[in-house]
Amino acid sequence: MTLGIDDTSWNGDGRPATPAAAPTSTPPSPDPALAARPEPAETAPEQVFRGIGVSPGIAIGPVVVLDHQGLRLPPRKVAAEAVAAEVARLDEALAAAAAECAQAEAEARQRLGPQYAEILAAHTAMIGDPQLRADARGRIEQHRISAEHAVIEVLEGHAGRLESLADSHLAARAADVRDIEARIVGKLAGRRPKSFQDDLAAPSLVLAHDLTPSDAAQLDPRRVLGFATEAGGRASHTAIVAAALEIPAVAGVGSLLDHARSARRAILDGEEGLVILDPAPPTLERYQAAAEQRSARYRTLSEEAGLPAVTLDGAEVGLWGNIEFVDEAAACLKWGAAGVGLYRTEFLYLRSIAPPTEEEQFEAYAEAVRSLQGRPIVIRTLDLGADKLSPHLGGGVEANPALGLRSLRFSLRRPELFRTQLRALLRASALGDVRVLLPLVTTLDELRRARAVLGEVAAELRAEGRPLREALPVGIMVEVPASALMADRFAKEVDFFSIGTNDLIQYTLAVDRTNETVADLYSAADPAVLRLIARVVEAAAARGIPCGVCGSMGGELLYTTFLLGLGVRELSMPPHQLPEVRRLIRGVRLDRAREVAAEALRLDTAGEVVALLESALLPMISDAATGAPAG
């Protein structure tokens, strides 16, 4: 395989990748899943594809296309006398697949740490779920179909329901379901899963329709420089693991593989979400230089992690981290976060075949609190809906789950689940600076009902003699226009606001943020969105309560100046975004930020707003890079 101008492949931090050792024996036969790429007679034209950057960095190298590899299945129908044998085959396959998944979990725990091993632990639990066996057995016995087809019917049904959801975080979990489906059916078909990495002749970029979480957990950064998938998004477990391994990754590229089969080399930009096939020499040289610059920049940024996030005129800004796994708190500390501004608790439910117990939740929350070493942590209550939890908690699939029974609405409808979570959360509050965040609050009645339940649970714990934090701060996520428009009233009844910009944009503009056909209409820069944010910040300031931003806007440099100009002084984001935002803040002057914000609120279109913010951003980045004193 030819690698490019100088036959050098580059990994995510800008350093040349270690070349693969020369084979000492006959190499294995190529896996048919790795598409053959004939050498082109002449240089192919450069092609650029845009997706979603899910793990930052730049990777340059040869291309390997991973095709779907179908299993050879037996005939669908079985004879009546063969039903008992099919059930026995099912049980053997479930046991073998669970054992294999448990082994993969142990290996992931050693390589990646416990939070990523939990992904595979969830798979093991799902394989061992008695309901899965019962559903598959029922199909075998009632419809006299093979064990393979029974498993596929059950799990494809779950995967299809997940993919239909408007919440991208949960729709991405279809990959987990298909991962365990492949394990079980593979055992039934007598085929041992094989890592595609075994056939890589050199460190490469892997392009696939999708990668399962199991594939991702086994990625070797020395062999896989980066990957891009046609499907998926930021919320997928595959993306989470890629970020942990610091492998650049792009998801949701769309129709990529048909174009990639003849490509000899590619560039993958995990920050901009770009895949460039057969880059022209000038493009290749530009990205090689950018990779080197990125490596140098992050070395400098790591040295600045202890610096305060203070503007040039002395205004302090609290930078917080968003986490989903407890162990991600370590990354928050590494990059100098003031605390955790959003701890999503959904994963505790997604990884379990049954709702987690009070004790299981308490242990998770307590570990997160202790790991922050006294820094505050904002724990958000369950942000899922009955439709999204139907495989575990019951409930039917709603036609429009984004407007249905989700988040706080769901918790209030299922008080036994809500009270269990609140008990665990309040118990953990005795261990440190814990704050509670209620998601998708729409009406004052919802807030008051939730606070009443919280008060009842606190009284129960006191009666039991359990310690808890008195005067526990309670805030709401401002994610819908209703709560933004009523922010002045909400401000009288809560301790803080946290603006969830992702859903706020979706609900304000009536645009499904997971629908690629209307993606051009989904814009944080839309004047309607900006005015709602300004209204919320103003209401918080009038009441004297903190107002932070924990949605994607909080970590996007384009909007940092605007948010500071409005008066936002708390920004929460994925830990890897903290260093760049800190550096920018240290180059901002508040008087200029206020001017930018005021001008943005006067504009008519998102395009005009973006142009204004981009023009304001460049000189501030320059000021920050010069190391001008800031506080």
> Known catalytic residues?
237, 550
Q: Residues, the chain, total?
A: 631
DSSP 8-state class, residue 381: P
Q: Are β-strands 274-277 and 265-269 bridged in parallel, bridged antiparallel, or unpaired?
A: antiparallel
Dihedral sign from CA coordinates of 437, 165, 56, 244: positive
Which structure tokens are listed for 211? 């990668």
| Strand arrangement of the beta sheet that strand 249-251 belongs to | 47-50, 274-277, 265-269, 58-66, 204-208, 224-229, 249-251, 52-55
Q: How many CB atoms lie within 10 A of CB 521?
A: 15
* Residues sharing a CB contact under 8 Å with residue 286, sequence separation 6 or more, in sequence order: none
d(CA 548, CA 572): 7
Task: List the one residue out of 487, 503, 597, 500 whose CA is nearest residue 548.
Answer: 500
Q: Are β-strands 58-66 and 265-269 bridged in parallel, bridged antiparallel, or unpaired?
A: antiparallel
Torsion of CA 261, 262, 267, 273, to 10 degrees: -40
CB-CB contact of 63 with 267 (8 Å): no
Please give the radius of gyration of the chain, using alpha carbons only, rounded to the nearest integer.
25
Q: Are β-strands 224-229 and 204-208 bridged in parallel, bridged antiparallel, or unpaired?
A: parallel
Which structure tokens are listed for 511? 């645009």
Q: To 5 degrees, how large is the angle CA 271–CA 275–CA 279?
A: 120
Token pair 């994607």 in the structure block, residue? 552
DSSP 8-state class, residue 27: P
- Long-range Cβ pairs for the range 488-493 (8 Å, 24+): 488/539, 488/542, 488/543, 489/444, 490/441, 490/444, 490/447, 490/539, 491/539, 491/540, 491/542, 491/543, 491/545, 492/543, 493/444, 493/447, 493/448, 493/451
Which structure tokens are listed for 180? 């365990």
Q: What is the 3-state secondary structure (H, E, C) of 527-594?
A: HHHHHHHHHHHHHHHHHCCCEEECCHHHHCHHHHHHHHHHCCCEEEECHHHHHHHHHHHCCCCHHHHH
d(CA 476, CA 332): 22
d(CA 426, CA 308): 31
Token pair 């299993």 in the structure block, residue? 71
Token pair 């000038």 in the structure block, residue? 282
CB-CB contact of 65 with 257 (8 Å): yes
Provide the CA 125 distance to its chain's centre, in angstroms.
Answer: 21
| Three-class secondary structure of residue 483 per DSSP | helix
Dihedral sign from CA coordinates of 51, 57, 63, 68: negative
Which structure tokens are listed for 300? 């400098």
